[in-house]
Amino acid sequence: MNEAESTAGKPMDQAAGLRSDGPAKAVSFNSTRCLAIGGGKGGVGKTVVSVGLSTALTERGKRVLLFDGDMGLANIDLQMGIVPEYTLQDVLFGQCPMEKACVHVENGPDVLVSASGAPELVDLSDARRGMFIDELFRFASQYDFFIVDTGAGIGRSTMDFLAACPEVYLVLTNEPTSLMDAYAVIKTLHMRSEGQHLGVVVNMVDTQHEGEALFEKLNAISQQFIGETLSLDGVVVYDRRVSEAIRRQQSIVRYAQNGRVACCLRELADQIMIRPKRSAQKWTLDQWVAQWQKSEFLNAEKKGQ
Ligand SMILES: Nc1ncnc2c1ncn2[C@@H]1O[C@H](COP(=O)(O)OP(=O)(O)OP(=O)(O)O)[C@@H](O)[C@H]1O
Ligand SMILES: [Mg+2]
């Protein structure tokens, strides 16, 4: 990875890395696959799946950039045992370029660590977040896979990341609250973006059959109410060693290499790899602004109800 050339010895410009020079340029992802992992409900395993999937793809020789999109409540670093010198907060406040905040995990992905307990990351203005996302995707274009682990809920920042990726994978568990929250994400995405792959990863189930039955429920609701057909891309079983792996700060794919969860996550990686890439979307700042305006309009409509 390139080291920053211009930063030695002097503090960086506050907006360095975020400023667009001249008219906004379209970001082309070329061959990079951009995946967002979401789910709505907290604690369903979005981060476990993001970390495990990244590790499994790395095992298959892919160059992977994993980004902690849980802005302000980040914990990928804790799950992977990373002690970053710089975080996204430093990038956003001009203290270092993105390359420097990127940590390489041995036998794993490169990771861009967010900051925990940093409300200023959550409260970024729309324009600033837009520039940041634009820059982030540009940086990710040097990788085969760009995986964004998103936070819980359907807040602005989470939905912006989910809407920006051509492929979205929703992590679902066997609880009605998870089902309804996943549906809320699908519905919100349906209002904001088009042509995305909407995949489902059912997590913490006992059997493949349980996962399939749960997927069918979500798919039926989604088809009936908004006409979106989902795809079942992975079923990950429950294994208490996942919790042990987190305590040991390792990806479960490395901690219990031959365990059932590692196998499920490798199957998910294979399933994703064989799928043809969604056509690269090109995003410009204008498109982002249009998107925000559209969601502002929808929010205003909701408030008026
Ligand atoms: N397949 C699994 N088997 C057993 N436990 C699991 C599994 N997947 C996740 N867990 C447990 O669920 C907990 C929550 O996982 P994780 O942090 O990935 O959820 P999350 O959706 O990212 O949460 P948040 O919304 O807070 O970011 C983990 O601490 C782990 O103990
Ligand atoms: Mg998480």
Q: Which residues of 225-238 are buried (b: 16+ CB within 10 A; e: fewer)?
A: eeebebebbbbbbe
Q: Which two tokens stand for residue 93?
A: 């406040």
Q: Find out whether the beta carbon of 243 lies less than 6 Å from any atom of ligand 1.
A: yes
Instruction: Kindly state whether residue 8 falls inside one of the protein's structural domains.
Output: no
Output the average pLDDT for the chain.
83
Instruction: Kindly state whether residue 269 falls inside one of the protein's structural domains.
Output: yes
Q: Which is the closest atom of ligand 1 to the Cα of 237?
A: 1
Q: How far is the CA of 264 from the centre of ligand 1 (A)?
A: 15
Instruction: Kindly state whether residue 16 falls inside one of the protein's structural domains.
Output: no
Instruction: Kindly state whether residue 3 falls inside one of the protein's structural domains.
Output: no
Query: How many whole angstroms separate alpha carbon 19 and alpha carbon 278?
Result: 28
Query: How many whole angstroms separate alpha carbon 186 and alpha carbon 178?
Result: 12
**Are 170 and 186 contacting, i.e. CB atoms less than 8 angstroms apart?**
yes
DSSP-derived secondary structure for 139-172? HHTTSSEEEEEE-SS--HHHHHHHHH-SEEEEEE
Query: How many whole angstroms separate alpha carbon 301 and alpha carbon 298?
Result: 5
pTM of the model: 0.84
Instruction: Kindly state whether residue 5 falls inside one of the protein's structural domains.
Output: no
Q: Which is the closest atom of ligand 1 to the Cα of 240?
A: 4
Q: Which residue has its alpha carbon closest to ligand 1 atom 10?
A: 45
Q: Find out whether the beta carbon of 47 lies less than 6 Å from any atom of ligand 1.
A: yes
pLDDT in tens, 26-68: 344 578 999 999 998 999 999 999 999 999 999 999 999 999 9
pLDDT in tens, 140-195: 999 999 999 999 988 888 888 898 899 999 999 999 999 999 999 999 998 887 78
Q: Which is the closest atom of ligand 1 to the Cα of 50?
A: 18
| Domain span holding position 125 | 34-304
| Residues around ligand 2, an ion, CB closer than 5 A | 46-47
Q: Find out whether the beta carbon of 204 lies less than 6 Å from any atom of ligand 1.
A: yes
For residue 16, the model assigns a pLDDT of 41
CATH of the domain at 103: 3.40.50.300
Q: Find out whether the beta carbon of 48 lies less than 6 Å from any atom of ligand 1.
A: yes
Q: Work out how many domains the chain is built from and give that number.
A: 1
